[in-house]
Amino acid sequence: MRARGDRETHRAATPLELFFDLCFVVAVAQAAAALHHALAENHIGTGVFGFLTVFFAIWWAWLQFTWFASAYDTDDVPYRVATFVQIGGALVLASGVGRAFDGDFTIIVIGCVLMRLALVGQWLRAARSDPPRRPAALRYALGIAVLQGCWVARLALPENLLVPSLLVLVLGELAVPVWAERVRGTGWHRRHIAERYGLFTIIVLGEVVLATTNAVREALESGHAVGSLVSLAVAALVIVFSMWWLYFDQPAHERLTSLRIAMTWGYGHLLIFASAAAVGAGIEVAIDYDTHATHLGGVAAGMATTVPVAVFLLAVWLMHIGPRNECRPIAVGFPAAAALVLAASFTGAPIHVTAGVLVALVATVVIATHGEPEPGSPERGRNLPERAA
């Protein structure tokens, strides 16, 4: 297993990586659907907690595979078999989402352990084949293996220790890459990483479109008014289109100039992915409210969409734009739009107002950049070194 070069040209996602992402669609859809049902029943606290917990497991498993693949994707038989095992674990994880929202994480843990032990085997193989980076690979293998044992042991803890132990283990998971990369770090390809994150963003936004379509279809089949539902569906699509535009307007790879920045950027995407997935659940709640199929009041139903949209805007602002961006209309526009979106919760049409705010933000970005990506053109990005020293 040879390390991939971090300066390869035309490094793109492989068919196996795309297949891996496709299988994660199931887990993301299950998490969003469970959040929708919890919110619709006015179980806001338990629903949000369950969603964040489950989505962390989904995101973390995807992230670990993605960064390993960027460093060591050899696409040989052992690598493919190990990836198939990880895909199997992802499907097991997806099957346990419903139970996890009820407080039973057994199936989720089984799926995660299956995925992560396959990854341990990959890291051990990398350690054997890549002597210069062996210390980092062994640290990854050790840290992942120990934590999987801790996750299994957590299932036996009393109920009053479940939340504290969850927080400790999450911090432990986040710390393993930081600890492993303190020695000679593994390689990674910044264009490849940026593309992989972009593809997962598309998957999550696609789930929003699917959730909206299914909710509108079910409402129409129940005999509800067509006009208001169509209007709501159009506003939802405008929100999704605007989210896509705002995320992909900036060339993300230009920001990945060091490992520290890349890790912060990569970890920060938890907010982007989770908030985007939650928007789909929020749109469904809005449709439920219009069709009198939820126990939520108008403000709470609106916040099911406006809060995740605002989080998405702030996360994209922090990860892709930056408060010190030289283009002030953009630097100020994102947090201002997030505030206006939250304020839309208290209007009579939160989804439509949110769509209007996002269109205005997209227009601001287009006018401020004259339709060209900032801080530079794609040509400028191609002339930058693939990885900063």
User: How would you write the pLDDT of the chain (389 residues) with one tens digit per residue?
Assistant: 777 766 777 778 889 999 999 888 888 888 998 998 999 888 888 889 999 999 999 999 999 999 999 888 888 899 999 999 999 998 999 888 888 888 888 999 999 999 999 999 999 999 999 898 899 999 999 999 999 999 999 999 988 888 899 999 999 999 999 999 888 778 888 888 889 999 999 999 988 888 888 777 777 776 666 777 888 888 999 999 999 999 998 777 777 777 788 888 889 999 999 999 999 999 989 888 888 888 888 899 999 999 999 999 999 999 888 777 777 788 889 999 999 999 999 998 999 999 999 999 999 999 887 766 554 433 343 333 333 32
Residues 259 and 310 placed together within one structural domain of the fold: yes
CA 105 to chain centre: 20
Same domain, 63 and 94: yes
The per-type count for the chain, helices as H runs and strands as E runs, is: 14, 0
Range of the domain at 272: 190-383
Identify whether 351 is part of a domain: yes
Cα 177–Cα 178–Cα 179 angle in degrees, nearest 5: 90
Has residue 185 been placed in a domain?
no
On whether residue 157 sits in a domain, the answer given is yes
Is 265 within a domain?
Answer: yes
User: Are the C-beta atoms of residues 110 and 57 closer than 8 Å to each other?
Assistant: no
DSSP labels, 244-266: HHHHHTS-GGGG--SHHHHHHHH
Say yes or no: 372 and 293 in one domain: yes
Q: State whether 173 and 253 are in the same domain.
A: no
Looking at the structure of the chain, the number of domains it has is 2
Q: Do 128 and 242 belong to one domain?
A: no
Q: Residue 356 is part of a domain; what is its CATH number? A: 1.20.1410
174 and 204 co-located in one domain: no
Is the same domain home to 248 and 128? Answer: no
Same domain? For 261 and 217 the reply is yes
In a domain, 274, yes or no: yes
Of 180, 207, 236, the position where a domain reaches its end is 180
pTM of the complete model: 0.88
CA dist., res. 41 & res. 316, Å (int): 30
Nearest partner of 48 among 8, 86, 101, judged by Cα: 101
Considering the domain architecture, whether residues 225 and 115 belong to the same structural domain is answered as no
Q: Which of 137, 198, 178, 185 is nearest to 263 (CA)?
A: 178
CA distance 313 to 319: 10
Q: In terms of Cα–Cα distance, which of 58, 56, 345, 8 is closest to 190?
A: 8
Residue 368 in domain: yes
Is the residue at 43 inside a domain?
yes
- 91 and 168 part of one domain: yes
Residues 126 and 251 placed together within one structural domain of the fold: no
Of the candidates 180, 204, 224, which is a domain's last residue? 180
Q: Is residue 284 located within the same domain as residue 326?
A: yes
